[in-house]
A and B are shown apart, each in its own frame.
Chain A
């Protein structure tokens, strides 16, 4: 460990994060958790590590055609590979900060042992909200972080540091998620509900989402709420299939699994 403290700027940290593989990088002053009050104090980063001054949120994309695939193996590989990459980026960025004399810890991607989600479906830290407060995106109706670059099709990780850094501007509410409710309509398990006029984002039934695997043997890795989201430059890169295609696929999955089509599915966009 280097005992001398070097001065690191945001630009230095962004450059290192990108060199390590991060696609999006944002900075959230820790005060934003209490200021906005979306989460209880228990999920303030200072509750996890009292020295936290800034949360550095980073993302890598999930590539749209793979998010769209019905091949569970390919989908799962992308999920695992991006998580491993993010964990390595975050660990090494924390090491970079610590080496420079600025205390930092990385919060690992995977927040649950097998089966734990079913008894306590809450992780020690929300990377999604960190990304929201770091201005990487906006928490959307589907409870994912909707970004300008990739919509909700990305994975996130966070580094907490005691280094005080200027926060990045947050995304203006409603600019990335206009509550089109496509995620709610496409969801295989009707996990999302709420009133788009009244609520900023949906209520999510996490248990309905988990039970998907038992009900839909052909949809072990679902991703409907990610692939239908119309936001994201990545749609232009890959070319956007018509949304109706996703709804047709949805009907086929219900039929193949012998599950009666739910009322939401019959609603055309």
Chain B
């Protein structure tokens, strides 16, 4: 006999397991949104998708590409996968069938870009009301902009969905498309943002070979997110000034923290300034 399990219990359990963001999306929302990766295609009993998120720390994200940034992703992905697995078991233990859908490893050699993503945690996050997808194709959240990692748990429980964010969070500033070193973001004829996944993945694999993936430039430049104020980094113009400023003065103080983080732990990259080679 299943125990009554409410959203509050589930959210509290998810937070106890390390999730900083928790949202609920009824599976029917995928049909309403007429988008792919429908939970029921993966598991017909899915009734509700529970999306868990954890932030990435801006001072590490903005130092990319670095080995420390790579470790931050490894650590947060492991934390999320473990939290999702344990949340699924928590639900199963109470008699409510659930499965966790692990983190994607898009761009990794074992999962080429085409046809690998069994499910989009980003889309799930939007349909669970955690944020809105921006022009950088990432989930923008109020708390951390696109600097979040996400994972999903499918439950057969019918739970109320969290309210969707009515307003887009993306300011359409175009920073992400301008900074992308792979030129992977373009504007289509209808004004929508198009992501060249192959170009993005190729750049990722290049960085990965140096143990300095991911790139995350489209995450660091995004002006959205309360974390920018928390970390005292509201000026996004600085990312565009970096190259010229370092060409003039390789020891310009404001850029030294990023150079320090890039210098250690990974292999040199052609774009590294001579001062850290």
Contacts and interface: CB of A to CB of B under 8 A. Distances in A.
B211 A113 contact: yes
B267 interface: yes
User: What class of interface size applies to chain B in its complex with A?
Assistant: 35 or more
Interface string B35-69: 00000000000000000001101011000001110
Interface stretch (B181-189, B193-201, B257-265): B257-265
Interface in A72-114: 84, 87-88, 91-92, 94-95, 98-99, 101, 103-114
A95 B55 contact: yes
Given A51-B232, A95-B55, A105-B57, A112 B265 contact: yes
A1 B225 CA distance: 9
Contacts of B20: 95, 99
A110 B211 CA distance: 12
B261 A124 contact: yes
Contacts of B57: 94, 98, 104-106
A88 B18 contact: yes
Contacts, number: 99
A112 B264 CA distance: 8
Which of A3, A92, A103, A119: most chain B Cβ within 10 A? A103
B226 interface: yes
B78 A88 contact: yes
A108 B71 contact: yes
A47 B211 contact: no
B84 to A, nearest CB: 14
Interface string B217-247: 0000000001100111000000000000000
B171 interface: no
Contacts of B18: 88, 92, 95
A101 B79 CA distance: 22
A112 B212 CA distance: 10
Contacts of A99: 20
A101 B232 CA distance: 12
Contact of A3 (B76, B212, B226, B232): B226
Given A47-B257, A91-B79, A124-B67, A113 B59 contact: no
Which of B55, B67, B256, B264: most chain A Cβ within 10 A? B264
A120 B266 CA distance: 9
B13 interface: no
A1 B210 contact: no
Contacts of B55: 1, 95, 98
Nearest to B226: A1
Contacts of A37: none
A108 B68 contact: yes
A88 B83 CA distance: 11
A88 B75 contact: yes
B265 A111 contact: yes
A124 to B, nearest CB: 4
B265 to A, nearest CB: 5
A114 B68 CA distance: 14
A124 B68 contact: yes
A47 B256 contact: yes
Contacts of B230: 1, 98, 101, 103
Contact of A111 (B212, B227, B257, B264): B264
B202 to A, nearest CB: 19
B267 A113 contact: yes
Interface string B117-149: 000000000000000000000000011100000
A124 B75 contact: no
B72 interface: yes
Interface string A1-29: 10100000000000000000000000000
Contact of A49 (B78, B144, B257): B257
B265 A116 contact: yes
Interface of A: 1, 3, 42, 47-51, 84, 87-88, 91-92, 94-95, 98-99, 101, 103-116, 119-120, 122-124
Closest 7 CB pairs of A and B: A113-B211, A108-B71, A1-B143, A124-B264, A105-B57, A87-B75, A1-B226
17 contacts: A47-B257, A48-B257, A50-B257, A91-B75, A92-B18, A92-B79, A95-B55, A98-B55, A98-B230, A103-B230, A105-B59, A108-B71, A109-B71, A111-B67, A113-B266, A122-B264, A124-B265
Given A113-B212, A119-B267, 17 more contacts: A1-B227, A47-B257, A87-B71, A87-B75, A88-B75, A88-B79, A91-B79, A95-B55, A98-B230, A103-B232, A105-B60, A108-B75, A110-B71, A113-B267, A114-B211, A116-B67, A122-B264
